[in-house]
Structure 1
Amino acid sequence: MSTQPAPYPYWRILLCFGLLGGAVGGLLASLLSAIVLSPNDILDFILFSPVFMLTGAVIGLIPALLTALAIVLRRMMLTSWVDYCQLFAIGFGSSALFMLTIIAIDAGIAPHYDPKYMPLQNYDLIPYMGIIGELSAVILGRFTLPKIAKTPISHH
């Protein structure tokens, strides 16, 4: 009987993050918005969650794929809390840098900033997107990354 480790799940990670990363981020954004904006109105959360998830899937596709690519290139596994911290950092970094890039592109296209007409040039969105990205990365990483099983103590 062979005890070779299972091959690293490159495609599972890339597909899961690509297909679900932004949607999970959108669901988290919907939940945070419901808590902050209208904590007593659960109906708004239920009605707007699909819209947030679809928007998140579109907007979050690139940072989710960048996160997955970083994870796959590092061949990350979940062995300790340090790995979760790395997932946090990778998710935050890819999402925050993506938002910064969008703001920079928007500022280059429309250099005369007016917040009323250019809502994308809001630098407050950078940490918000980073937090959403890090939480999404940890949630998806928990389900897709390989875990190292603890070896049982043998009694001989």
Structure 2
Amino acid sequence: MRGIESRAVVIVPSSSYPKGKVIGLYGLLGGAIGGLITFSYIIVLSVIKEGASIQDVPDFIKMLAAGAVFGFFLGLLPALLTGYSAYKLEIYFDSIRNVFPLFAIGFMSTFLCIVWFMLESYSTDSIINIILICCIGGASAIATGLIALPKHK
């Protein structure tokens, strides 16, 4: 039986950036947070336009829960793409200067997924909706980054 050779090389990663945590949390939370942002916006608009009473609160809570579930499935691919990009760029969430790169990554990931799957018409109205959805993707990337990205100590 041979022992371990003395010339054996152990490769240790140069960085301890948590790849699995970042991509996994973005995948799990990114779309759901985007759905919560979207449905919160819809709730605020409905309260402003129609007013709300205390009896509407359970309906709003149900809408938020449905938004999180719907957003999870609809935003899964852009969220995973955002998490992978954040991992590859090794973004740390330790200062406010990292907010714009996260927004840009979330915006572009959402835009790429929309162009890949859903672009059917070239009307001005659909372009405005695409930009709005991409902004929600960017905001979701920032909110998820608060939770998923590592911080410098």
- The interval holding the TM-score normalised by the smaller chain is 0.7 to 0.9
- State whether structure 2 residue 76 is matched by structure 1 residue 61: yes
Match of 2:88 in 1: 73
Q: How many residue pairs are counted as aligned between the two chains?
A: 132
Matches within 5 A, 1:133-144: 133-144=137-148
- State whether structure 2 residue 131 is matched by structure 1 residue 127: yes
Match of 1:96 in 2: 111
Change (3 A) 1:64 1:70: same
Q: Any unmatched runs of 5+ in structure 2?
A: 1-13
Match of 1:118 in 2: none
The separation in 2 between residues aligned to 1:44 and 1:35, in whole angstroms, is 13
Q: Deviations over 1:98-155 (max 9, x none)?
A: 2233332xx2xxxxx6x9xxxxx93332122112111111111111211123xxxxxx
- State whether structure 2 residue 34 is matched by structure 1 residue 25: yes
Match of 2:20 in 1: 11
CA shift at 1:48, angstroms? 1.1
TM-score (norm. length: structure 2): 0.76
% identical aligned pairs: 31
Match of 2:44 in 1: 35
Tell me which of 65, 79, 97 is aligned to 1:82. Answer: 97
CA shift at 1:84, angstroms? 1.2
The alignment's C-alpha RMSD in Å is 2.3
The separation in 2 between residues aligned to 1:125 and 1:32, in whole angstroms, is 14
CA shift at 1:33, angstroms? 0.7
Secondary structure of the structure 2 residue equivalent to 1:66: helix
CA shift at 1:6, angstroms? 7.9
**RCO greater where, 1 or 2, for CA within 8 Å and sep 6 or more?**
2
Secondary structure of the structure 2 residue equivalent to 1:38: helix
TM-score (norm. length: structure 1): 0.75
Q: Deviations over 1:82-105 (max 9, x none)?
A: 21111111111111232233332x
